[in-house]
Amino acid sequence: MLKSEYLQRVYTQVIARDPDQREFHQAVLEVLESLDLIVEKHPEYEKHGIIEAFVEPERVISFRVPWVDDQGRVRVNRGYRIQFSSAIGPYKGGLRFHPTVNLSILKFLGFEQILKNSLTGLPMGGAKGGADFDPKGKSDNEVMRFCQSFMTELNRHIGQFVDVPAGDIGVGAREIGYLFGQYRRIRGSYDAGVLTGKGLAFGGSLARTEATGYGLCYLTEEMLKCMKNDSFAGKTVVISGSGNVAIFAAEKATALGAKVVALSDSNGYIHDPDGIKLDVVKDIKLKRRARIKVYADEVPGSTYADGFRGIWNVPCDIALPCATQNEIDEETAKIIVKNGAMAVAEGANMPCRPEAIRVFQEAGLLFAPAKAANAGGVATSGLEMSQNSMRYSWTFEEVDHRLQEIMVNIFHNTYDASVECDAPGDLVVGANIAGFLKVAGVMLAQGLI
């Protein structure tokens, strides 16, 4: 139950409107619990209906995506784009292609994206989209035909000043290339800034591929330094997932002196007590698009076990969940604590259930929430948009340096906000409030209501 009668009323209405959207309810409740600490000081929010508007997407687009498989059969998937908030800039956020995609998941992701993008300090609104299409086991040609069909519908809703999609689960450089090609053909215009995560030869930014994982480690390093006078050096790290975010988080954690000993995919996990060999992982996952299990076949001394949750039985100092939402529940969190971890930072979006976060915080672990910790990806997307507008490219070092600055600033703004609302060190509260105050201020200033 929320303390504020106003916030409780808004939350009750969110549930009544869409009773089945559990992930969305979860994301909204977490933010409203944080706002409960400040809402009394801001009667203007209720007067102007700010919270009611904030939890309702500006636009929800749903469409049919027909495509032809390699056997010549017509398949039909469902595509979406949730344009959640354009208060502080054009809608911005990734596209997810995964069989579990539905409105609840995309609304939670779009909602969190508003606050995450606000924290970056760059002018980007919040959005998310995708389809219940499973790229696994599909040929390149099938993926291409799917992307072309998806963009044939999506193109009318996006643009560099309107809505700028990027990648997420199941959408990487290959998919963005096909999507951009179709956009360009349909529109007859080279609008590089309409998508981010593009190939380097057609307007992509150096360091965008690495950005989410690197950014996660930059923020975590700053958190360790400022809150525990410590660092990654000499620490044992476990990272779930083995996709874009996980691989580059492992690369940066290793560069900062840590030893990464486990990675996973949706089938199981690998454990390499000597430290994961990233060149092998990159070859398996990025080049061969094979399963993580192959690592244990090829690297002596490493082991594979079925079941992706088992990875959290591997003891670590720092846990970086980088796979998907709600993979760490209360019981799993207790195992991580019992095994002696000191910090958890979310590379994935909402990988920890609320009860798990409580377990970490009550046990005194440092906890960095996704909105702050994984904002480096979208921040670098913002830098890609800047470079596209200038028709110019920065070097890897320039982009990486800006990314580091942004992540350090996000940590401090988040930490300071937690102190200001009497929850010092609670970065969940800090990220929600620091992100929200800016968006709410703009909604009031623009008179959206």
Residues that bind ligand NDP (CB under 6 A): 98, 100, 167-170, 172, 212, 241-246, 265-267, 308, 322-324, 347-349, 374, 377
130 makes contact with ligand 2IT (CB under 6 A): no
Nearest distance from C-beta of residue 95 to ligand 2IT, angstroms:
8
Catalytically active residues, by annotation = 128
Q: Which is nearer to ligand 2IT, 296 or 431 (CB)?
A: 431
Contact status: 94 vs ligand 2IT (CB under 6 A): yes
Nearer to ligand NDP by Cβ, of 39 and 215: the residue is: 215
Q: Give me the residue whose beta carbon is nearest to ligand 2IT.
A: 94
Q: What is the full DSSP assignment across 193-223? A: GGSSS--GGGTPPTTHHHHHHHHHHHHHHHH
Residue 169 binds what, of ligand NDP, ligand 2IT, none (CB under 5 to 8 Å, by partner type)?
A: ligand NDP
Of ligand 2IT, ligand NDP, none, which one does residue 120 interact with (CB within 5 to 8 Å by kind)?
none
Output DSSP code: residue 171: B
Closer to ligand NDP at the Cβ: 104 or 212? 212
* Residue selected from 25, 92, 145, 271 as contacting ligand 2IT according to rule CB under 6 A: 92
Calpha distance 419→204 (Å, rounded): 38
Q: How many residues does the chain have?
A: 449
Residues in Cβ contact with 401 at an 8 Å cutoff, skipping those fewer than 6 apart: none
Total residues at the site for ligand 2IT (CB under 6 A)? 12
How is residue 85 written in tokens?
Answer: 């908030």
Kindly list the distances between the CA atom of residue 103 and the CA atoms of 111, 114, 133, in Å, as whole numbers in the listed order: 12, 17, 14
Shortest distance (Å) from residue 250 CB to ligand 2IT: 18
Q: With beta carbons less than 8 A apart as the criterion, state whether 248 and 279 touch.
A: no
- SS3 category, 269: strand
Minimum distance between the CB of residue 231 and ligand 2IT, rounded to whole angstroms? 25
> Tokens 């944080």, residue?
34
How far apart, in whole angstroms, are the C-alpha atoms of residue 307 and residue 444?
48
Separation CA 343–CA 219 (nearest Å): 12
Q: What is d(CA 67, CA 34) in angstroms, rounded to the nearest whole number?
A: 44
Q: Which one of 34, 242, 381, 404 is in contact with ligand 2IT (CB under 6 A)?
A: 381
Residue closer to ligand 2IT by CB (options 276, 348) is: 348
What is the rounded CA–CA span in Å between residue 371 and residue 353?
A: 14
Partner from ligand NDP, ligand 2IT, none contacting 196, C-beta within 5 to 8 A by type: ligand 2IT
Choose the binding region for ligand 2IT from 69-77, 186-194, 377-385, 441-449 (rule: CB under 6 A).
377-385
Contacts for 113 with CB less than 8 Å, ≥ 6 apart: 84, 92, 93, 126, 127, 128, 378
Single residue of 349, 387, 413, 432 touching ligand 2IT by CB under 6 A: 349
Is residue 119 a contact point for ligand 2IT (CB under 6 A)?
no
| Beta carbons within 8 Å of 15's beta carbon, 6+ residues apart | 25
Contact between 168 and ligand 2IT per CB under 6 A: yes
Among 241, 268, 369, 377, binds ligand 2IT (CB under 6 A): 377
Q: Token pair of 36, please?
A: 């409960």
Footprint on this chain of ligand 2IT (rule: CB under 6 A): 92-94, 113, 116, 166, 168, 196, 349, 377-378, 381
